[in-house]
Amino acid sequence: IYPYAESKTRTIKVRLIFNNKELLLKPEMFADVKIYAGALTDVVVIPIEAIVRSGKINQVFVVTSPGKFEPHQVKLGLESDGRVMVLSGIMAGDEVVTSAQFLIDSESKLREATAKMMENLKKKAKENNTTDPAAEKNKGDAVK
């Protein structure tokens, strides 16, 4: 298999050896090819949409507890029918995130936590008769 695709035709060249006694196959012919391999066992397979690709790094997010996720760098193997084999990085039984929904959930939790933090700072500022939460933080930093 050549390591690049032709940009104009979006095809990949492959060099194969065939028994062609009747000369039905000619040089430079095109073909749609499916390669059937034997079934693999004891492998970890996940949906392709679980892969987060960034440059040369492939990651998946593993659920560590409800609402908590941890990135794992993975090495990928064969890919077929919307699924990909994971050679390393996660183990059988790991629960991986298969959509970006967790990012939306994480962002909303971050916004909620930030809002609560600001509310608490404002409450403390009000208790100390200041109006600016930053003033409360820097209260003892005044130059004498």
Write the DSSP string, 48-73: GGG-EEETTEEEEEEEEETTEEEEEE
CA distances 79 to 22, 44, 68, 75, 111, Å, are: 34, 12, 28, 12, 37
Q: What mean pLDDT is predicted for residues 29-40?
A: 79
- What is the pLDDT averaged over residues 98-119? 66
Structural element, H or E, at residue 6: strand 5-6
pLDDT digits (tens, 9 = 90+) for 42-67: 899 999 999 988 888 899 988 888 87
Give pLDDT, residue 128: 77
Q: What is the pLDDT of residues 79-89, one digit of tens each?
A: 888 999 999 99
Integer Cα distance of 58 and 50 in angstroms: 10
Residue 144 CA to residue 17 CA, distance in Å, equals 87
* 125/47 Cα distance (integer angstroms): 50
The Cα–Cα gap between 88 and 59 comes to 11
